Amino acid sequence: GKDQLKGDKLPTNILEIVPGKFNETDWLLLLENDDAEDFVADVFDSIWTDASKQIQQIYIDRQLLPFTMMMTENALSSVI
């Protein structure tokens, strides 16, 4: 009874990708870390894109009046 139960346990087979150095568990951890890095990169890219668009819009808003005044002055100067 008891002896047979102990003998029925199967050894855990771990896939060795690089024997003695790198196994399936290491591979899965590496993939999880890679996914985390991709997530952070995506978040950073999103923040960077949004910030760039806002900076560009602020720049355009600040330059609109001076540009309009300059073009108006040039147009009036050429008429006179």
Helix then strand then coil, in percent of the chain rounded to 5, is: 80, 5, 15
Range of the domain at 67: 2-79
- CB contact set of 22 (below 8 Å; sequence gap of 6+): 16
Partners of 71 in the beta sheet?
none
Q: Which residue has the tokens 């024997």?
A: 19
CA–CA separation, 67 and 71 (whole Å): 6
Higher pLDDT among residues 6 and 66, named by residue: 66
Q: Whole-structure pTM over 0.85, yes or no?
A: no
Q: Which residue has the tokens 């150095």?
A: 21
pLDDT band at 37 (very low <50, low <70, confident <90, very high): confident
| Number of compact structural domains in the chain | 1
